[in-house]
A and B are shown apart, each in its own frame.
Chain A
């Protein structure tokens, strides 16, 4: 029962969603809308639960006194401040917005901006033309990097002005970038999209038919 009923539910809801999308009949569309409604009602619970599990993780960290466990209290302070203001007064409350704009937003933006430093350092240390494939990657990256910024065209135009084709081949840096994106990049991405999509479809069929059951987790 613990495994069979969820498998049956998954099958039923999957098949109903699949079939009702192909039928314009009002009854079928009614069922389709109602199932979508049900899923919409269930989704917020999943979202709230997933955030609560993060709380559990930090409670466990404190209990087990793992490394830097003291900082988990700061996590609770952060959650408490937002929830105490946000739940009763709503996210439109000026205090909630102030906290978001002056505390959460700068930290979030800064955290990801650190990657600019690491990407530069990694490019210097590890971006090597060791073989043909790596060279292709490197050359393309350099062309795209230069094509993305105005200085790329500036350098190109200065260089091409030394030749008789300065008019014909003006702004070549951004043109090359665009050509790469429009042609070989597009082909590679399309290959990936086709491969991934076939995978998504086959996996979805396996899940609906109950062949793929990993989402049920372990245990009986």
Chain B
């Protein structure tokens, strides 16, 4: 019996995982979400910005991380558009280009933001640190034209934005280690304030930068996205998904406990 349980066909585990997602998706619940300090710090920073100031939103992720990072991007954009904070969007990760462009357009439509006045999307440029350093001196030396081939001098919003001096904050939404590049080059060389929204995989490695103040805030995966949606009082996919996630986490914890009980009983029997 015990051996059978330990050697259970992995496809049974797969079915259990699928059910743990499908059932709560069909019958959604809503549990209270506590807000973590790093998420709140970022929210408060943007909230404290003056109307008309600008931030840079960097889409350093691809479709493989959109589930975690798209809800964050949407929540930050909504907050900015509502507070009349200008957003300069760009990416250093080629595969994030189309997604970044679509996402900004979508939220702008919803919030009535105007392209060129409230936000711009500059697109992708290769050469990570070379791009970060170049923009510190002159953004137009890297992006002479925006993603839609309009010279950035023709975009009203960009007339006041030459380099990082006019950018209050860079929010890097990253699925890899690009946030570290922003810290190493934009923060160190230009004293630029940086915040990050990252995938679950890299949350833990961001904490040393958070403690030193090299990151002024951090949104941690889908949990952070849900917290941010609650902070802007506009619960969306992040809140829905973190509630569903509860069931899968419970299932995995349960599986770990069962696996360990079986392991210890088996070991005792062998002894």
Q: A151-B247, A153-B34 are in contact. Are A39 and B127 (CB under 8 A)?
A: yes
Q: Are B148 and A150 in contact (CB under 8 A)?
A: no
Q: A121-B14, A150-B32 are in contact. Are A40 and B253 (CB under 8 A)?
A: no
Contact with B along A93-125 (1 / 0, CB 8 A): 000110011001110110111001101110111
Q: A127 to B10, alpha carbons, bound, how many Å? A: 14
Q: A47-B126, A124-B255 are in contact. Are A151 and B31 (CB under 8 A)?
A: yes
Q: Are B207 and A97 in contact (CB under 8 A)?
A: no
Q: Are B37 and A36 in contact (CB under 8 A)?
A: no
Instruction: Answer yes or no: A203 CB below 8 A from chain B CBs.
Output: no
Q: Are A142 and B130 in contact (CB under 8 A)?
A: no
Instruction: Answer yes or no: B221 CB below 8 A from chain A CBs.
Output: yes
Interface size on B, residues (CB 8 A): 65
Q: A186 to B255, alpha carbons, bound, how many Å? A: 28
Q: A101-B98, A121-B14, A150-B243 are in contact. Are A116 and B32 (CB under 8 A)?
A: no
Interface of A is mostly: helix
Give the contacting residue for A174; candidates B36, B66, B134, B259; CB below 8 A: B36
Q: How large is the interface on A (under 10, 10 to 19, 20 to 34, 35 or more residues)?
A: 35 or more
Interface of B is mostly: helix
Instruction: Answer yes or no: B153 CB below 8 A from chain A CBs.
Output: no
Query: Given A91-B97, A127-B259, A142-B256, 9 other A-B contacts at CB below 8 A?
Result: A108-B95, A125-B10, A129-B260, A146-B249, A150-B243, A181-B207, A186-B208, A186-B211, A193-B205
Pull 23 A–B residue pairs with CB atoms less than 8 Å apart, ordered by A.
A33-B137, A36-B134, A40-B126, A40-B131, A40-B142, A43-B126, A97-B98, A100-B98, A105-B99, A109-B63, A109-B66, A109-B67, A112-B65, A117-B14, A120-B248, A123-B256, A124-B258, A124-B259, A127-B256, A138-B260, A149-B242, A178-B36, A181-B203
